[in-house]
Structure 1
């Protein structure tokens, strides 16, 4: 049995861009493709010409249009918090996509997609979104949501960390999402549920995994698959008491 994994791309790229980052420019996908079926989707907001013009030329050369984002952050008018324009459209689109294309066993995200993946899991566990909770989450170079409507939610999760299996991969030289921000995300998850892979020289990208790192990711995913298979077997046998 393969795990079905919903994959969420970074800011102003696309599902196809993430597929290339995972499978062409990195060995990440090939390290897990016998365990996971990777399913990519595009963000809810398509970038206009002005937004496309702000993309670095090398990024546009590597990844062609169209480009999407999950939200666009701006300063809240009366506080130090941020407003994520497009947030509700994104939550609605993901919920509709999961209803139409799911179920998915877990969710993976890179950068802004990693922040969204984590947010979806927190919201679903709190019953605050109309989609079933993911069984696990993989975050690559992500931070916790800084949207003003989510600050209390994240603070509550830090005070009572969630028992959600979470694999976090992040780099020590990431200047887009500094490592301390990813560590702050990790504070929302119970320590026993965490698998962390820290790349001291890693930047802001889907990394190439060495043998030990790939084995750590695989072990995390294999444990999730084993849990699912055990749960399915238990259901077939009529619950913990055996056949009924």
Structure 2
């Protein structure tokens, strides 16, 4: 039976899968509204000024925080004309040296004047918490006096609760980096009914805020919201951030209900931006502050760029059970990396330090580069023992596609320069630039040339490296053009940054189970595109080396065959 016959037969059996796709709403996840204060305008005097608490980033202090606030808000009409915002600051309790917290020499130059003299170096760079495995898959937030992995974070939250009890309520919480992340966590706790944060604040201003990683140690992945937050929130970040993967900021933004979020992008890297007059960014923030003054959030702005990129996407996704398998056999389609073994060589971690993140130890860089090359070197033959395996074979034209962007060397001599270029945390292999129409055409061609499927077959798809992005396209093609729901999609080290234009909608894979596999040292950002693509089960798993990856894939496939 060829594909034309198959489509004709399936057409007689009932509706196509694509006709059964559901439009889901974040309102399906029941959540209490944010417990806002009953009044607003908690500033001093008779002006009904907005009282705002600022939480700074790691290795900062009140002097630096005041400069950051001045840079962001100085040109707002609500500030210039009405002096509307009354600022309060809370310094962290962890006292660090400049070199301990700011690894990049260019950043050290910026921060040095704001320290407190301590011998021949500087002291007085304050933090709220410590970070373990920063910007990697197991990033974990620790308290000042942690005794074991994952401990001490509750004490940080309790200290913030005590401060709010003593000095609140506030109109807004504003934060940068980990300070913004903590503000977000306080809003999550408030929505989940934590009495310590009831009626303590009514909106958020978050600059470069990220959430807990799914695979964080100490079980911190469970601290992500159970439903989208319903608190007015202004979110701002830069895609040129050289301190974090910007997809962390995208991921957190999706946990704010679409009706409550306002998104602003800037080109100034890892900092609260210096907003200039007559810019769209300043207009967006000014409008948000005006809405908070009136107490009525302006109309949904998800159709405006850059928010339109994320329109229709939100987290967490309500999960449905995996579809029941058919009575027939399981066929595994393996999509290897079309580029073969590729990526920077491990020895480049030492020889070419400016290419890699300043905060990442070179031995860790070398380890992850080696693991990535091991993944991309795998072929379908490596999975032959699993049973009915069909390996996709690429034509030379497929291999010559410009899959990833060309990476230009970033000028790291100056910190926070406007339009400085690509972040060193975003490796070229973590981003795919092929357009969606081209990917769809390729996926269909690969299916027709490589795979024989009958209506009784169960079909799983496994992709490796760049091939994992193609595997996503194959899974999508199975649903849309072959009327087959994949039994599972397994993506090993896929690119997590996709082209925005024409990207698949939330739930495009319907209830297809998706397994995202990485190694703990990976610097890829959160896979929110994969996570929102399915309403079926989604899991993130780790492997340590080639052998453990093969064992994990075998476990996943055998669970389908059982």
TM over 0.5: yes
DSSP-derived class of the 2:288 partner: helix
DSSP-derived class of the 2:194 partner: coil
More helix by share: 1
Out of 256, 267, 274, the residue aligned to residue 208 of structure 1 is 274
More strand by share: 1
Q: Shift of the alpha carbon at 1:120?
A: 1.3
C-alpha contact (below 8 Å) 2:187/2:229 kept by paired residues: no
* Structure 1: unaligned runs, 5 residues or longer: 229-244
Residues 175-234 of structure 1: CA deviation (Å, up to 9, x unaligned) = 2132211000011111111111112x2301121113332221121112122118xxxxxx
C-alpha contact (below 8 Å) 2:72/2:272 kept by paired residues: no
Counterparts of residues 126-205 of structure 1 (less than 5 Å): 126-128=192-194, 130-132=196-198, 133-146=200-213, 148-154=218-224, 156=226, 160-199=227-266, 201-205=267-271
Partner of 2:90: 41
Out of 111, 134, 137, the residue aligned to residue 60 of structure 1 is 111
Partner of 1:28: 73
Q: Shift of the alpha carbon at 1:48?
A: 5.9
Q: Per chain length, whose mean CA-contact separation is higher, i.e. which structure has more relative contact order (CA < 8 Å, sep 6+)?
A: 1
C-alpha contact (below 8 Å) 1:9/1:110 kept by paired residues: yes
Out of 166, 175, 184, the residue aligned to residue 100 of structure 1 is 166
CA distance in 2, matches of 1:128, 1:89: 15
- Does the C-alpha gap of structure 1 residues 213 and 13 become closer, same or farther in structure 2, counting only changes over 3 Å? same
C-alpha contact (below 8 Å) 1:140/1:168 kept by paired residues: yes
- Does the C-alpha gap of structure 1 residues 150 and 106 become closer, same or farther in structure 2, counting only changes over 3 Å? farther
CA distance in 2, matches of 1:138, 1:58: 27
Partner of 1:89: 155
DSSP-derived class of the 1:144 partner: coil
Out of 116, 119, 128, the residue aligned to residue 185 of structure 2 is 119
CA distance in 2, matches of 1:138, 1:41: 15
Counterparts of residues 202-241 of structure 1 (less than 5 Å): 202-210=268-276, 211=278, 212-227=280-295
Deviates more, 1:33-42 or 1:162-171: 33-42
- Does the C-alpha gap of structure 1 residues 93 and 59 become closer, same or farther in structure 2, counting only changes over 3 Å? farther
Deviates more, 1:208-217 or 1:12-21: 208-217
Q: Shift of the alpha carbon at 1:28?
A: 2.4
CA distance in 2, matches of 1:194, 1:4: 20
Out of 5, 8, 13, the residue aligned to residue 60 of structure 2 is 13
DSSP-derived class of the 2:197 partner: coil
CA distance in 2, matches of 1:187, 1:74: 24
C-alpha contact (below 8 Å) 1:16/1:40 kept by paired residues: no
CA distance in 1, matches of 2:255, 2:225: 8
CA distance in 2, matches of 1:184, 1:71: 21
CA distance in 2, matches of 1:52, 1:83: 16
Residues 48-68 of structure 1: CA deviation (Å, up to 9, x unaligned) = 687368574313323223221
C-alpha contact (below 8 Å) 1:35/1:221 kept by paired residues: no
CA distance in 2, matches of 1:63, 1:49: 10
Equivalenced residues, count: 219
Deviates more, 1:44-53 or 1:128-137: 44-53
Out of 49, 74, 90, the residue aligned to residue 132 of structure 2 is 74
C-alpha contact (below 8 Å) 1:119/1:145 kept by paired residues: no
- Does the C-alpha gap of structure 1 residues 202 and 60 become closer, same or farther in structure 2, counting only changes over 3 Å? closer
C-alpha contact (below 8 Å) 1:116/1:145 kept by paired residues: no
Deviates more, 1:126-135 or 1:171-180: 126-135
DSSP-derived class of the 2:92 partner: coil
Q: Shift of the alpha carbon at 1:123?
A: 1.4
- Does the C-alpha gap of structure 1 residues 177 and 142 become closer, same or farther in structure 2, counting only changes over 3 Å? farther
Q: Shift of the alpha carbon at 1:96?
A: 1.4
- Does the C-alpha gap of structure 1 residues 104 and 123 become closer, same or farther in structure 2, counting only changes over 3 Å? same
CA distance in 1, matches of 2:126, 2:195: 22
DSSP-derived class of the 1:195 partner: strand
C-alpha contact (below 8 Å) 2:58/2:101 kept by paired residues: no
Partner of 1:233: none
CA distance in 1, matches of 2:56, 2:133: 23
